[in-house]
Structure 1
Amino acid sequence: MNDIDWAAMADMMVDEAEVHSPYVRQAFAELEHLAPRRVLDIGSGPGVAACRLAGLFLQAEVTAVDGTPELLARAEARAEQLGVRLRTRLAEFPEGLDDLPTADLVWSAQAVHHVGDQQSALDRIARLVAPGGVLAIVEGGLSPRFLPRDFGFGRPGLQARLDAALEDRFSTMRAELPGSVPVVEDWPRMLRHAGLTEARSRTFLVDHPAPLADTPRRLVRRLLERLRHMLAEGLDPDDLKALDRLLDPADPDGIDQRPDLFLLTAKTVHYARRALPLN
């Protein structure tokens, strides 16, 4: 993937996975009818989803696959703490996927968009799906919302402007990735192009109403801190001033203290199946 320091983001990734667990539970409910013998979580990070898969499919061999050893160590520790059986496999994405065994269920959340040629990466993941098996890819959804449009200072609509700035930065990042190839991000069509069938999409809500508990509130802080760092050069000075005030732990109207802070987002999961051979 690109040059993101994933190990340094481990704590934030755990918080994000735990806060987003409502959509993961709903997404996995679509898979509960399966009886997989082998499950792969591609780009597993610290293993939150992989451990949930291991708890859901107790008879399966579940493997967390990631390119960062520190994150796989976190996955192993989490599995031990939860008392679930989990294997780990170090593999770069997507180059290292070719050495993996096929599986009856392959899950991959928000990994493909980090690769220049998304269709090629998806093709590689799809080749891991055994005949009759299922692939579930998480890509897209809706940007998170934390605050009212007018939250009492600064110009109203700050989050919409952050979304626009982040979209511009994301487009630039995608264009600068090695081997970047433009593609219409119609994920069901891309899954069919990868040789899979029965492609469909479901979007699941994540809704943490105000007042926020500690973990989602901490995640909002980390997300806003990251946006403040990433977008500083392109934001209006007044918006930067509003962000700094929101991030001031001593300000009663900052995100650490205000009672109206919430977290609302949605994640889209794209499902497809590898057809059984015709006999």
Structure 2
Amino acid sequence: MLDLEAEVLAGHLAAITEWLPVASSPRGVVDLGSGTGAGTFALLDLFPHTYVTAVDSSAVHLQRLREKARARGVEGQVSTAQADLDSRDWPDLGTPDLVWASASMHHLADPDRVLRTVHDTLAPGGLFAVVGLAGFPRFLPDDAPENRPGLEERCHAASDRHFAEHVPNRGIDWAPKLTAAGFSLEAERTFTVRVENSANKAVRTYAMGSLRRLRDSSAEGVPAEDLAVLDRLLDTASPDSILRREDLAVRTERVVWAARRTT
């Protein structure tokens, strides 16, 4: 799913990295919660002479990231560190000029402590880019499916209630926390994404995987009739399967905060 998302939203990710207020190529970059490397490689595309340290708690994700670095011929510019960001025992990350954290900060048990640690890790004048998620992407038209219009919105509402209880920092405004940690907030922007290419196999597969995750997080909060229709959409053998629809569009938003260490 992480690789699919990187493929489907590649243009969107490039737009975010190009927007960052970075005057020159950073000497060192840290990707916190790197996953399989979507941010790592987007930053290397923008800054081809920099060096990136990718940090993640998953050995599987980091192995996949190293394989992708070798395939791209940039293994000499990428190192990995397996670490739990909630642990106080972080690996030595040097003094990077840029720290990137995309869709990772909201998972932390104590983000305020981590923000202070990032502040102290950055080189003076260095930039911290936080990319926040508003929620799962949307894929279906508002009047779909035909026998249960509005299904996706109802599932999103139930999912939002679930995450408000279990992941309270998902979707928050990071600006106050960044300034409390000593950063100077330099810029903030919401990026709106719409990818309309349902003939693309990657888009359809991404929709299938995302809606499966949405079902898991919304199952307790929607009527049984909604779940029955959603299950038909998720059944690859069903004539109603998402994989057979020609009206899909990836619709989502990302909010980006760019904060600088000024001391």
Cα RMSD (Å): 2.2
SS in 1 for 2:248: coil
- Match among 48, 56, 61 for residue 38 of structure 2: 48
Structure 2: distance between partners of 1:183 and 1:43: 15
**One-letter amino acid of the structure 2 residue matched with residue 88 of structure 1:** T
Unaligned runs of 5+ in 2: none
SS in 1 for 2:128: strand
C-alpha contact 1:154 1:239 (8 A) present in aligned 2: no
Distance change >3 Å, CA 42–CA 258, structure 1 → 2: same
| Cross-structure match for 2:67 | 77
Q: How many residues align?
A: 259
The equivalences for 1:5-154 within 5 A come to: 12-31=1-20, 33-84=23-74, 85-95=77-87, 96-97=89-90, 99-141=92-134, 143-154=136-147
Q: 1:113-133: CA deviations, max 9, x gaps?
A: 112233223222222221011
| Cross-structure match for 1:8 | none
C-alpha contact 2:134 2:171 (8 A) present in aligned 1: no
C-alpha contact 2:136 2:210 (8 A) present in aligned 1: no
Q: CA deviation at 1:38?
A: 0.7
Structure 2: distance between partners of 1:221 and 1:80: 29
Distance change >3 Å, CA 174–CA 183, structure 1 → 2: closer
Structure 1: distance between partners of 2:186 and 2:180: 10
| Cross-structure match for 1:179 | none
Q: 1:138-179: CA deviations, max 9, x gaps?
A: 11346522111222433321121111111111022136xxxx
Q: CA deviation at 1:75?
A: 0.6
Distance change >3 Å, CA 247–CA 61, structure 1 → 2: same
C-alpha contact 2:30 2:96 (8 A) present in aligned 1: yes
**One-letter amino acid of the structure 2 residue matched with residue 102 of structure 1:** T
**One-letter amino acid of the structure 1 residue matched with residue 98 of structure 2:** L
C-alpha contact 1:217 1:255 (8 A) present in aligned 2: yes
Unaligned runs of 5+ in 1: 1-11, 176-181
Identity %: 37
SS in 2 for 1:195: coil
| Cross-structure match for 1:3 | none
C-alpha contact 1:196 1:273 (8 A) present in aligned 2: yes
Greater mean alpha carbon deviation, residues 207-216 or residues 65-74: 207-216
C-alpha contact 1:189 1:199 (8 A) present in aligned 2: no
TM-score w.r.t. structure 2 length?
A: 0.90
Structure 2: distance between partners of 1:122 and 1:154: 47
Structure 2: distance between partners of 1:25 and 1:198: 21
C-alpha contact 2:134 2:170 (8 A) present in aligned 1: no
Distance change >3 Å, CA 224–CA 63, structure 1 → 2: same
Structure 2: distance between partners of 1:102 and 1:253: 52
Distance change >3 Å, CA 198–CA 171, structure 1 → 2: closer
TM-score w.r.t. structure 1 length?
A: 0.85
| Cross-structure match for 1:7 | none
C-alpha contact 1:40 1:65 (8 A) present in aligned 2: yes
